[in-house]
Amino acid sequence: NVTELMNVQNTLMEKLYCAPFAAFSLTVDFKDSTRYIPVFGVYNPNMTKDFYLSGTEIQKSAYLKYLKTVMELSGEEITDSQLEEFYNFEKSLAEKMMNPEDMGNVDKFYNTYTLDEIQTLFPTVDTEKLLIYSGIQKEDKFLVTDVGMTEEFAHLLTDENIEVLKTVAKLTVILSYGTTLNTEFVDASNVFNQEFLGISGTYSDEERAAITVSSVMPDYIGEIYAEKYFTEEAKQDVLKMVRDIVSVYKKRIGNLTWMSDETKEKAIRKLDTMKIKIGYPDKWETYLDN
């Protein structure tokens, strides 16, 4: 049942930080960039909304063939009917998904819920436990960016859908980590890209290693890179350049004849409060240290 499956997810969260169904995370608050806000997110279809609503049969065939290949490579059997069921599950979510053009509209994706409201929406999920395994502290409000898709996932997260939910869990793990296991998974991904996107070529092992390490620990790699290629002296030089530009800008604003004094004051205040970020941060994130 769903409760047992969520316990499986808790193990995945603990071992891999992999959440097939739902999880809490953090993001910069889109309405206040000086703070973070906790986010509640659910399973997201692997492909774009447009693919499920208006993709071609060739594209769909390439996608299902890829999924079947990676399942078989991982030692899992899956029938064509199970694949079709999984595809329809994702399509149901995609139909309720926010349109791409709305994803940049903060008024549409900035929706806050209390933990109690999320619990009401997901009666089969222990949200308190989910919060603990996500490593996020309880707050007064949580961001839910795509309300329509979240509500649809809540509707589908039931014992009646347990078989397709198992497939969701398996494929989430396999698609997340399969390409780290052997070249057969990588080859399958390349074939899919060729058939679906019409692109060829692949990364070398060295390039793939570099991409993986950079994605997992960007600040550490960035600090090493900056030490080698962008000295503190160079940073201060560019910083002085930017401050000189701001100074000239202030002078020009002061000399404008078409702008009111009140508007000039606001423009200069904006310049004074602008944060200047050059090259690398003044304080590096060292999230692996503890």
pLDDT tens-place string over residues 181-233: 889 999 999 999 999 888 888 888 899 889 889 888 889 999 999 999 998 89
| Angle subtended at Cα 44 by Cα 42 and Cα 46, rounded to the nearest 5 degrees | 155
- Closest C-alpha to 91, from 64, 110, 130, 129: 64
219: alpha, beta or left, given left = phi > 0 and alpha = psi -120 to 50? alpha
Does the structure show a pLDDT above 90 at 33?
Answer: no
- Closest C-alpha to 64, from 81, 50, 49, 44: 81
Q: State what percent of residues in the chain have pLDDT above 70.
A: 100
Does the structure show a pLDDT above 90 at 38?
Answer: yes
Task: List, in order, residues 6 or more apart from 118 with CB less than 8 Å away.
Answer: 40, 127, 142, 144
Q: Is 35 helix (H, G, I), strand (E, B) or coil?
A: strand
Least confident of 108-112, 204-208, 269-273: 204-208
Residue type, position 57, single letter: E
